[in-house]
Structure 1
Amino acid sequence: MGGEDWWYHSHAHFDIQIMKRFSRRLSVLYICSIGMRMPSIRKDKHFWLRIKRKINSILRGLQKVSPQLYVYSPVPLPLYRSRFGRFLNALILRIQIHAVYLYLGIKNPLLWINTPTAWPAMEKDGKRGLVYQRTDDYAAYDFDNFNAQYVAKVDMKLLQRADLVIHVSEELHKEAKEITSCSLLLPQGVDEMFFRFNGSTPEDLKFIPRPILGYVGSMDTHKFNSQLIFQVARNLSECSFVMVGIPHPSTDELRKLPNVYFLGHKNHEAIPGYIHNFDICILPTAQTEWGLKCRPVKLMEYLAARKDVIATPTPASKIFKDRIHIAEDFTSWIDLILHLTSLNNSGIKQYPDVEITTWDSISSIIFNQLEEKKLVSY
Structure 2
Amino acid sequence: MSAVRDVVLASLESWDDVWRRNQHLVTGLLRRDPATRVLFVEPPVDLAHDVVRRATLRPGQGLRPGPGIAGVEPGRLWLYEPTKLLPRRVDPGGDRRRARATARAARRAGLTDPVLWINDPRVAGLLDVTPWPAVYDITDDWVVADRPAAERDRLVRGEMLLLERAAAVTVCSPALLARKEANGPVTLVTNGVDVERYRRPAARPADLPSGPVVLYVGTLHRDRLDVDLCVRVQASLGTSARLVFVGPVALGADDAARLRSAGAVLLGARPFTAVPAYLRHADVLVVPHVVDAFTDSLDPLKLYEYRAARRPVVATPVAGFRDSADSLVRAVPADAFAAAVRSALDGAGRDQGATLPETVTDLPTWDRQAGLFAEVLGEVSLAPRPATRP
TM category (shorter chain) comes to 0.7 to 0.9
> What are the equivalent positions in structure 2 for 1:1-378 lying under 5 Å apart?
1-7=10-16, 10-11=18-19, 13-24=20-31, 25=33, 26-34=36-44, 39=49, 47-48=53-54, 55=58, 58-59=60-61, 61-66=63-68, 67=74, 68-77=76-85, 79-80=87-88, 82=89, 85-91=91-97, 93-127=98-132, 129-143=133-147, 147-181=151-185, 183-205=186-208, 208-237=209-238, 238-247=240-249, 248-249=251-252, 250-258=255-263, 260-323=264-327, 324-330=329-335, 332-347=336-351, 351=357, 353=360, 355-375=362-382
Q: Secondary structure at the match of 1:132?
A: strand
Distance 1:272 1:86, change over 3 A: farther
Amino acid at match of 1:108: D
Query: Which has the larger displacement, 240-249 or 99-108?
Result: 99-108
Structure 2: distance between partners of 1:62 and 1:126: 24
Structure 1: distance between partners of 2:46 and 2:25: 22
Amino acid at match of 2:362: E
Normalised TM-score (structure 1): 0.86
The Cα of 1:39 is off from its aligned counterpart by 4.7
The Cα of 1:327 is off from its aligned counterpart by 1.7
Gaps of 5+ in 2: 1-9, 69-73, 384-390
Amino acid at match of 1:230: V
Once the two structures are superposed, residues 39-63 of structure 1 have per-residue CA deviations (whole angstroms, 9 ceiling, x without a partner) of 5876xxxx345x65xx37x236412
Structure 1: distance between partners of 2:319 and 2:151: 27
Q: Secondary structure at the match of 2:95?
A: helix
Once the two structures are superposed, residues 125-164 of structure 1 have per-residue CA deviations (whole angstroms, 9 ceiling, x without a partner) of 121x211110100223335686101211111111111122
The Cα of 1:193 is off from its aligned counterpart by 5.0
Q: Secondary structure at the match of 1:253?
A: helix
* Cα pair 1:131 1:162 within 8 Å, conserved: yes
* Cα pair 1:40 1:144 within 8 Å, conserved: no
Q: How many residues are aligned here? A: 357
Give the number of the structure with larger relative contact order, counting CA–CA contacts within 8 Å between residues 6 or more apart. Answer: 2
2:6 paired residue number: none
The Cα of 1:307 is off from its aligned counterpart by 1.4
* Cα pair 1:36 1:117 within 8 Å, conserved: no
Amino acid at match of 1:188: N
Amino acid at match of 2:117: W
Structure 1: distance between partners of 2:103 and 2:80: 12
* Cα pair 2:189 2:369 within 8 Å, conserved: yes
CA RMSD of aligned residues (A): 2.7
Structure 1: distance between partners of 2:290 and 2:16: 27
Amino acid at match of 2:258: E
Gaps of 5+ in 1: none
Normalised TM-score (structure 2): 0.83
The Cα of 1:211 is off from its aligned counterpart by 1.4
